[in-house]
Every structure is written in structure tokens, then in C-alpha cells.
Structure 1
Amino acid sequence: MPPTSLVSKPHYPILDGLRGVAALVVVAFHLCEAHATSHLDQVINHGYLAVDFFFLLSGFVIGYAYDDRWQAMTVGSFFKRRLVRLQPMVVLGMVIGAVLFYAQTSALWPAIGQTPGWKVLLIMVVGCLMLPVPPALDIRGWNETYPLNGPGWSLFFEYLANILYATVVRKFSKLALGILVFLAAVALVQLAVTSPAGDVIGGWSLEPLQLHIGFARMAYPFFAGLLLFRVAKLRTVNNAFLWCSLLVIAALAMPRVGGPQHLWMNGLYDSLSIIFVFPLIVFLGASGEVVTSFSKKLCGFLGDISYPIYITHYPLIYTYTAWVQDKKIPWRDALPVAVLVFLLAVGIAYACLKFYDEPVRQWLKKKVAV
């Protein structure tokens, strides 16, 4: 039997459900993005902030799951646990990206048709190892670190956050952690308000500016989530899942703020949402309870598919975007296909969860003694 302190803890079911709500909004956001001409007319305009919400949730949950376990857990065993939790779906996401790659041939990505199969396989293997792809191996032309499955960039920063937590930040006092979070908040506001595009979008490239964006988007929310866990005094909140879900959807669906003349205003919205609104949502969600059988099943389902849908949906988005752009399909005509792609993304995520992710994680836990 494992030590009591290493037995899996109960989840916060509402936080699981909120992660699923945000993941579904991300899929809808990316479908809408295929029809946008710029950030200014993007429908579900702030869906990109879901990444920052995920980082904050992750920091809170990591603190809850591991802060009191270090007497009985080594850094190595922590990394084993995180690898078992995250890596199987990273691998499958890259495989799906490779399988669908040539179906995405488009004027948007003229390099696809000229890319030899061996290079696609090489990029897939590199991606499965969670190594960022240098510009010389960019086979799509979007300068992505994971050109087969773009959202892999956020998992790269998730791993970096976990490494920083396990090796350094877990030892911080509340005061030291608070100072780190404050400095990260200042850096985030500076990035968002001075951004040439008026937002925090980015982080998926090895270019210095993109790395700056990625670190800024990871540092504040992840460590703010950890701090929130350590200092929050939870209260009883009725109907927390409903209200928090509405807040998440409202924050992510918010229309563009300020317009082209006042880009800094949208940057301010981004930073204030990440710094204040998202911690409030997590606090309220952690304070609530699910009381009905339906709510428990719904939160469980949404939580279960949240990670699989996030890490597997984007190859479908590449394919959908290529179709829309090459055929010049207006949103009204594309809507039935968009709905089909959305439902397909959910179905694929659930199938991946049940027939791959859960069995593989159970097998790995036995093999690496987690």
C-alpha cells in the first residue's frame, strides 16, 4: 500500500467541470477563428484566455494535490506522476496531427504538399517527446513549436511550470510566493497593455517575443493559482457551478474591447481578467458543492474530456480552416459543418479517454510504480 499522503485525493468536481466548459469554448473559438479576418472581428473574441484559465486551475490543483506530500514524495516521483498524467495524450495528439496533416493542404500552408513523409514522422516523434521544433523544421509555415498540433505549446509551458514548482517554488513561503506573483502580474500587465496587437495571444514560437509571451502567460496564472490554494479561506457558495460556468463563458466570449484606436484597452481587459476574474472564478468554484446526481455526472464528464479535447481538437481545426479558406465558405453556410466538427471533436476526445488515455495511464502507473 502507498503511504497515506500519496493516496489520490478527491477532486474539486466544480473545478473539473469548469475546465471542461473552458475547453469546449476553446473548440468553438477556434472554429470561429477560421472565419475571422483579424483579432478585431473574431467571434467568441477572448477564447484564447482559456489557456491562462487552465494555467491558474493547474496551479491551484497542483498545490492541493502535492503541497502536503513532500515528506513522502521525491521530485522524481512527482515528475513520474505528471508524465503519466499528461504525456499519453500529448503523444496521441501528435499522432492525430500527423495522420491528418496531408488532409490540410491549402493555399494557407503551401509547404504541406511539398513536405516529405519522413519529415512529418520526424516532427511527430519530436512532438511526442515534447521538444519544441526549431524554425528550420517548421513544416506548416505558421512558426509553431508544434506544427502538427499547435496547442502543444501550452503543454510545454505547463511542464516548465511543474518543473519550477517541484524544484524551487514549492519551498517558497507565502510571502515569497506572493512577491513572485506580484512581479508576474506586473509583467503580465506590461505585456498586455503594450502589445502591438492589444492582447496576450501568442507563446507558440521559439522567437524571443513569443517566448516572452509564453512565460508571462504561464508565470502569473500558475503561481497565482498556487498562492490562491495556500491562502484562500473557502466559503459555501450555492449554485457555484452554474454561476462560475456563466462567468467563464462571459469572460471568454466578451467582444473585443477598445477597437483599433485603443488596442491597449483590450490588453487591459486581458490582464485584469487573468489577474482578478479567473482567481475569483476558481475561488467560487472551489467553495461550491455539487449536490444533484446530474450535476455530479455533468462535472465528471466535462472534467474527463477537458484535457483530451484540448489536446486533440486542433488537427480538426487545421482541416476545417483549410476548407473554409480555400472554398471561401461564409460562416452561415459553414455552420452545419462547424457544428459537426465540434461534435466530432467531443466524440474523438471521449473515445481517446476511454480506449486509450485511461488504460494507458493505468498501465503506466503499474510500470513506473506510481
Structure 2
Amino acid sequence: MNQSSNKHYEILDGLRGVAAIIVVAFHILEAFALGKHKEQIINHGYLAVDFFFVLSGFVIGIAYNNRWDKMTLGGFFKRRIIRLQPMVIIGSILGAATYYFQASPTLFPIIENTPVTKMLLVMVIGFTMLPVGKSLDIRGWGEMYPLNGPGWTLFFEYIAYALYAFVLRKLSNKALMLLTFIAGCALIQFTVTTPQGGVAGGWSLDPEQLRIGFTRLLYPFLSGLLLSRIMKPTFIKNAFLLSSILMFVVLALPRLGGDTNWINGLYEGLVILIVFPLLVYIGANGEIKSEKAKKVAKFLGDISYPVYITHYAFIYVFTAWVVDNVATGKTSYEVAAVWGVVTFVVSIAVAYIAVKFYDEPVRKWCAKKWLK
């Protein structure tokens, strides 16, 4: 498919924003579930990560497949760093600024005894996207980015970029299809055999979590990249509305199968295998004609990455408060729900302010300085 690298996919921007907002809502509601899968509202919200990987593969393919005769490896990585790193730094700073407000005797007892110097060291390491191990786990959750948990997806995103730049872009369509098929088989095998009954995980450096992370990365990214090569353009009416509704339905569906984990795992595997590439296909072949809808899609696209990479600092604070107060009966669910709405609004507002007054200016300056 010889799509122009200059074509802008408004619907895909909007869909990325829809998925990011669902992630924020999922994490707020997760505080009330207290780790009980069946009680989690927007039960499969974490699958938005797998959609992001599909979308990333597609967008990278569209943007760069036809540019390698004029672009070096260094130029490619500079562009990706400029796109991602400014908000990575803000996410780490927010995590550090709110860290001691997250202290909870029940959930995060380690925080009160963590020296400021150690916390600041983790913050600075977080700027670089280098993951940390157990010795610098200042939260107790085993996260490779203890101040900003969702950073683990960026860790795998950068791995995907390296695979693309050094290997995948050079493969024929047939070879890429074969790799995608193998990765799809590995995905289904994992989802139907794992005792947890799903793909949630990937945020730690231990072997089990790394396996989950690579399983969640490979098929989605490869399928998106393959789609960027073989998709035949068509026109799908009401694509933004249709894809947004489908996105919400598959992420909000309650956990399936009761105590039979493989049923829920199979569902998640099929969503990643079929539904997410379909969503990208629908979004890439639609058009937004309403000016209001265009503004909505642009707003969602603008805040999508910023809200995803900054919101968890506030989620840590909110979750710690819920566990210490609602679970113990000190505060009612109604009061907690109000603070949940506040947390949601603050997350969106901070992301919008960050992108308009920091991310966009910084990226513009970096591009002017470092890119020809």
C-alpha cells in the first residue's frame, strides 16, 4: 500500500484518545475492586495497551516505510525520542512530586521509610527510560518504573522501534505475515493457558513479567505494521462513532467464564488478535466531516499520550486513599466516587496543560535543533 506518509488519520488520533481516557477510568475504578477481577468495572480496560501497540505498528509503518531512502537510523530514533521523551520526564516528575502523598500503611508502607535521595535517583533514572530492578523498587509493587507505572509500555515501545528499524522494515510481506502468525499463535497459547486468565502484566523485570510484556507487544505491533503494508483503502461510513463504540464495548465487558480462567483468556486473545486490528482498519478508512467531531477527535488525540503517561501519579494517591479510608469504613463509597471524578478531571486537565504549554513547545524546539 503506497499511502502518503503525510496523510493524517484524524479518527485514529481520536481512537487513541478514547482508549487513553478509558484507561484513566479503569485505573480509578480499579481502586474500588481491590484486586478482585470480577468486581472491576470496565473490566478489560488494560487491553487498551494492546490496542496502542497495534496502532503504533500501523502508524510507524505508514509514517516511515517509504522514507528510508532519505532517513538514517539516527534520524528515526531522534524523531521517536523527541515524540516520547518530553512527557516521560513530566510523568516521572509528577510521580516524584506526589510520591510521599501516596504513603499508605496498607498499600504502600515502604514509602514512609524511603529516603528522598533514593526517590530522586529513581526519578532521574526514569527520565532516561532505563528500567529499575528490585534494589530500587521504592513502592513494593515490583514495577520497573516505580514513580510512573505505565512507563513499562514505553519500554516495550522502544524495543518495538529498534526491532522495526534494524529488522522488520527490511522483511518482505510474506516474512512479516509469517512472523505475525507465529506471534498470534504465541499470544493465544498464552492467554488460554495462563492461570490468571488474561494478559494483564508486563511491568516488572522478572522473567515471567517480561514474557507477558513481549507477548503483548509482538503480535499487536507486527499486525499493525503488516496492516500498514497490505491494507487497501476503502471508505467506511461513521467510522469514528462505530470504532469508538466497539472500543468501549470490548474494554467494558465484564470478566467472562466465572472461575474458568481460559474463557476470559480466550476472549482477551481474540480481541487482540482480531478486534484491535479491525478497529485500526475502520479508523484508517473513515473520514470525519463534522467540524465539531473533528475538534473532539483532535482534543482526544492531543491529550491521548500525555494523559496516559501522567495520570498514574494521581491514581497512586487516589488508590492509597481509597484503600485506607473506604475499605476500612472511614469514608463512604459516595464520597470516594466524587473524589474519583475529581481525579479523572485533574488527570485530563494536567495532560492538556502539559501538552499545550510544555510538550508541543519542547518538541518543536527539539525538532528545529536536532532534525534537518
TM-score scaled by length of structure 2:
0.96
Secondary structure of 2:142's match?
A: coil
Tell whether the 8 Å contact from 1:200 to 1:270 is kept in structure 2 after alignment: yes
Tell whether the 8 Å contact from 2:11 to 2:288 is kept in structure 1 after alignment: yes
Partner of 1:238: 237
In structure 2, distance between residues paired with 1:39 and 1:157 = 25
Tell whether the 8 Å contact from 1:134 to 1:145 is kept in structure 2 after alignment: yes
In structure 1, distance between residues paired with 2:5 and 2:212 = 34
Q: How does 1:74-153 map to 2 (within 5 A)?
A: 74-107=72-105, 108-153=107-152
Partner of 2:48: 50
Secondary structure of 2:98's match?
A: helix
In structure 2, distance between residues paired with 1:161 and 1:299 = 26
Partner of 1:19: 16
In structure 1, distance between residues paired with 2:294 and 2:29 = 30
Secondary structure of 1:34's match?
A: helix
Partner of 1:340: 342
In structure 2, distance between residues paired with 1:9 and 1:228 = 17
Q: Which moved more, 1:155-164 or 1:37-46?
A: 37-46
1:60-116 Cα deviation digits (max 9, x unpaired):
000000000001011110000000000100011001000000000002111100000
| Distance apart, 1:296 and its partner CA | 1.1
Match of 2:32 among 32, 35, 56: 35
Partner of 1:3: none
In structure 2, distance between residues paired with 1:292 and 1:81 = 32
| Distance apart, 1:330 and its partner CA | 4.9
In structure 2, distance between residues paired with 1:39 and 1:86 = 32
In structure 2, distance between residues paired with 1:191 and 1:209 = 12
In structure 1, distance between residues paired with 2:333 and 2:70 = 55
In structure 2, distance between residues paired with 1:145 and 1:200 = 18
1:2-29 Cα deviation digits (max 9, x unpaired):
xxxxx97232000000000000000000
In structure 1, distance between residues paired with 2:335 and 2:44 = 24
1:20-73 Cα deviation digits (max 9, x unpaired):
000000000000100113122211000000000000000000000000000101
Tell whether the 8 Å contact from 1:234 to 1:283 is kept in structure 2 after alignment: no
Partner of 1:361: 363
Amino acid at match of 1:338: G
Q: Which moved more, 1:194-203 or 1:33-42?
A: 33-42
Amino acid at match of 1:342: F
Partner of 2:351: 349
In structure 2, distance between residues paired with 1:18 and 1:358 = 20
Amino acid at match of 1:73: M
Amino acid at match of 1:97: G
Q: CA RMSD in A?
A: 1.2
Partner of 1:67: 65
In structure 2, distance between residues paired with 1:332 and 1:57 = 37
Tell whether the 8 Å contact from 1:202 to 1:213 is kept in structure 2 after alignment: yes
Q: Which moved more, 1:324-333 or 1:143-152?
A: 324-333
Unaligned runs of 5+ in 1: 1-6
Amino acid at match of 1:291: K
In structure 1, distance between residues paired with 2:333 and 2:273 = 33
In structure 1, distance between residues paired with 2:190 and 2:212 = 7
Tell whether the 8 Å contact from 1:35 to 1:330 is kept in structure 2 after alignment: no
Unaligned runs of 5+ in 2: none
Amino acid at match of 1:343: V
1:100-148 Cα deviation digits (max 9, x unpaired):
0000000211110000000011000111100001111100000000000
TM-score scaled by length of structure 1:
0.97
What percentage of residue pairs aligned between the two structures are identical? 58
Tell whether the 8 Å contact from 2:5 to 2:66 is kept in structure 1 after alignment: no
In structure 2, distance between residues paired with 1:360 and 1:286 = 29
1:315-362 Cα deviation digits (max 9, x unpaired):
100000010000124543311111111011000000000110001001
In structure 1, distance between residues paired with 2:333 and 2:53 = 31
Amino acid at match of 1:361: R
Match of 2:264 among 245, 262, 266: 266
Tell whether the 8 Å contact from 2:5 to 2:62 is kept in structure 1 after alignment: no
Secondary structure of 1:35's match?
A: helix
Amino acid at match of 2:283: G
Secondary structure of 2:48's match?
A: helix
Partner of 1:4: none
Tell whether the 8 Å contact from 2:5 to 2:64 is kept in structure 1 after alignment: no
| Distance apart, 1:194 and its partner CA | 1.1
Partner of 1:164: 163
Q: How does 1:217-228 map to 2 (within 5 A)?
A: 217-228=216-227
Runs (4+) off by over 6 Å: none
In structure 1, distance between residues paired with 2:220 and 2:60 = 12
